[in-house]
Structures are given as C-alpha cells and as structure tokens.
Amino acid sequence: MSQNKIYLDNNATTPCDPRVVEAMLPYFYEHPGNAASRNHPFGWAAENAVDTARDQIADLLQVDAKEIIFTSGATEADNLALKGVYEMYARKGNHIITLETEHKAVLDACKKIEKMGGEVTYLKVQRDGLVDLAELEAAITDKTILISIMYANNETGVIQPMKQIGQICEKHGVLFMSDATQAVGKIPVHPKELGIHLMAFTGHKMYGPKGVGALFVNRKNPRVKVTSQMDGGGHERGMRSGTLNVPGIVGFGKAAEIAKAEMEQDSIRLAKLRDKLEAAFLANVEEVYVNGSREHRMPHVTNISFKHVEGEGLMMTFNQNLALSSGSACTSASLEPSYVLIALGLGDDLAHSSLRFSLGRFNTEEEIDRVIDSVSQGVQHMRDLSPIWEMYKDGVDLESVVWQEH
C-alpha cells in the first residue's frame, strides 16, 4: 500500500497477506487442474490442495473437515444456509427468527423466504446492540425451524451472546445459524462449543482472497441438511455445485492457518491501537460518542459519532489519504443513515455523523497517530463551517428549534 495512504476499512475487506498470495501462485499456472478431475495428476494435485485447505479451515474452527462446504463467499453461504434450511425443513415449520441489525445478505435472503411463504421475525436489539435473550426465546413458536444471528456486527463490532443463544436453540430443538463473517480469523470461533449448526464466513475478511467463502454445516447431533441452491455436478457433498476455485481455496486455507497462529497477538495489539484511537477522540474532541457495547465487541473495531458533523462531509476532508467507512449508506440518489445505528436507537443526526474505524494486521501505531490528527482536524474544520455547531456552542437548545422548510 502507498506510504501516504492509511487503510482502516478492514471490515469491508482486508489486504491479502503476502504469505497467502505466495501459497496461491502455483495454482494459477504450474498446477492448473480441476479438483473434480480424478483421472490425471493435475486433478489429483488440485484435489489434494483443496483437501489441505479444508483441513486448515476446519482446524481453525475445531470442526470436521467434511463439515466445510466451499462457496463463492459469505453472501452465498448465508443464502445457502437460510434458503437451504427453509426448503429442507418445510414439513417441520416455516418460521425463522433473526435480528434487524443483520447484514443485508441475511436480511435480503429472509425477505425472499417471506415471498416464498415463510414467516420471519426481525427482533430489535438493545441500545448496546445486543439481543434481548428473553425476547428471543419468547419469539420461538412450534413452527420455528431456524434462528439466524450474526456473530459480530460489521458496523459496530458488537459480539452477540452466542453460547446463551445456542442453549436456547438446543432447549427448543431449533437450528442455530450464524453469519460469522466478521469474527472468523479475528477471534477464536468454535461453533460446536457454542451450539451453532450452520455458520457462514469468507476468505477476504481474514487476509485471504476475495471470491471464496464457506459454510460450516454440522454433521452429527444433529445432522443438518440443506437443499442445494446451485444445481449441476453435485460438488461439495451435493450442497453446492460448481468448479472449485482452487487458488482461492488454497489462499483461504493459508489465511486460516496464519489466523490460528497469530490471531491472539494480533487481537491484543489491535485492541491497544483501537483503544488509543478512541481515548484520543473522547479526551480531545467535544461531543464524541462510541456506538454499541464497549464490553462485548471485536478487538479491532470502533464506531464513533462526532455530533453536529456530517460523516460523509467529514470523510471528504481526509479521504484522499485515509480509508474509512461512514454511517451512511448510498441507496439510489440519497444518503440514508445506517439501519444498524438507527436500530441501536441513534437519531438520524448521530447516525449520519458516525465513522467506522476497523483496524487490521498491517496497521501501525504511527498510522493511528496520523489518523487521530487527520480526523480531529477534519472535525474542527467541519464545525468551524457549521452554523448548527455555532448555535450549540452559544447554548441554543437545538431540540427546540423549529426549522423552516424551503
């Protein structure tokens, strides 16, 4: 990456670790085989490479390698889990429970299931972003077949109480699925210990390549089945047809191996840098708020609102040199505030004034010092231009102001 540019958008995607790239390179040319070609050495080499990667990923999660189904990414894995369970267990029931703060890959798949005749309950979260376990349990009916709750939120980093959710699912005989895209490879994630039966994740959030992901599908107690969403060839135990992306899978496996060895030290280092960033803003910039639970969250993520500063405008003061994500999503021609932050109870103003800082393996302390300076100066610059900030500083109660519409 350029010396002058700082990348703090690791929840969107991570840079590929050079060790991952090195592992992948031979499978683009020297070993070009299709892993399904079982009648020559090139195919055998590809199949062995895929088996090794499957073992590396299974080792990271402490599951059986046969429980790892390769997909094109977490979005496909989410779709396969949700729609695949809905179709497979239709005789048992048609009700799914999820959260309002899930990733769009889950929410949009659930909307599709509703069009297919399913019923979906979208639970609200508490102000800290955590699910209310009593509300979750109360939502279960005799038609409930699946509860789908993400492990760690992509915008706030908030980690849900997975073990307790798993216990509720077990008590009621309901399958438990999790989109663990933001957690796998960053913190220890062991689905069997937590009672998770299906779990989606991807390579590019853990310093692996884009375009390859996986779905963990529990094989014993209970044996979970999903209806394939992709037909042709019966690859991946009949759950996901399609020629395997051998170089991508090799890279995914290598990324998992590195994560297992290094995630603990990475987490400790990144949490210190994240805390330094947060402390600097909270101490030196007025009207700053950290969104979501500060106790139950990923070590490398903070979501911060700078009140009376529009996040997109703030980013324009530094986005030539610093990559961040704002709390606004561009839908059609308008900027909408993040539905995740709105679900936490933030008003539109605070949601629009938020930035997500997601640190990664290759960030340095010197970079964090530069980020603190850049963002602090940007906030000051935006507030100097803002009549609303001037009114706030003059003691005007902005809640009572009646704004004229033109």
Checking if the pLDDT of 359 tops 90, the result is yes
Checking if the pLDDT of 356 tops 80, the result is yes
Question: What is the share, in percent, of the chain residues with pLDDT greater than 90?
Answer: 86
Q: What is the pLDDT of residue 192?
A: 98
Give the DSSP H or E segment for 87. helix 74-88
- To the nearest whole number, what is the mean pLDDT of the chain? 94
- How many angstroms separate the CA atoms of 223 and 198, rounded? 11
Confidence of residue 403 (pLDDT cuts 50, 70, 90): low
Where is average pLDDT lowest: 105-109, 151-155, 377-381, 398-402?
Answer: 398-402
For 320-334, the pLDDT digits (tens) are 999 999 876 655 456
Mean pLDDT computed over 360-384: 96
- How many angstroms separate the CA atoms of 104 and 100, rounded? 10
Checking if the pLDDT of 400 tops 70, the result is no
Q: Give the best-scoring range by mean pLDDT among 134-138, 305-309, 349-353.
A: 134-138
**C-alpha distances in Å from residue 26, one per residue of 23, 86, 399:** 7, 40, 62
Q: What is the pLDDT of residue 334?
A: 60
Contact assessment for residue 146 and residue 174, using Cβ atoms and an 8 Å cutoff: yes
3-state secondary structure of 297: strand
Q: What is the set of active-site residues?
A: 330
User: Dihedral through CA 76, CA 190, CA 198, CA 53, nearest 10?
Assistant: 50
Mean pLDDT computed over 339-356: 94
For 32-91, the pLDDT digits (tens) are 999 999 999 999 999 999 999 999 999 999 999 999 999 999 999 999 999 999 999 999
**pTM score above 0.75:** yes
Contact assessment for residue 373 and residue 363, using Cβ atoms and an 8 Å cutoff: no
Checking if the pLDDT of 373 tops 60, the result is yes
Mean pLDDT computed over 362-370: 98
pLDDT greater at residue 390 or residue 257: 257
- How many angstroms separate the CA atoms of 49 and 334, rounded? 46
Q: What is the pLDDT of residue 271?
A: 98
Closest by CA to 61, choosing from 199, 222, 166, 176, is 199
What is the phi/psi pair of residue 25, to 5°? -50, -45
Q: What is the pLDDT of residue 394?
A: 87
Checking if the pLDDT of 206 tops 60, the result is yes
Checking if the pLDDT of 402 tops 80, the result is no
Confidence of residue 336 (pLDDT cuts 50, 70, 90): confident
Q: What is the pLDDT of residue 185?
A: 98
Confidence of residue 21 (pLDDT cuts 50, 70, 90): very high
**C-alpha distances in Å from residue 94, one per residue of 141, 245, 295, 358:** 10, 34, 35, 37
For 91-149, the pLDDT digits (tens) are 999 999 999 999 999 999 999 999 999 999 999 999 999 999 999 999 999 999 999 99
Q: What is the pLDDT of residue 326?
A: 86
SS (H, E, C) 299-357: CCEEEEEECCCCHHHHHHCCCCCEECEECEEEECCEEEECHHHHHCCCCHHHHHCEEEE
Q: What is the pLDDT of residue 333?
A: 54
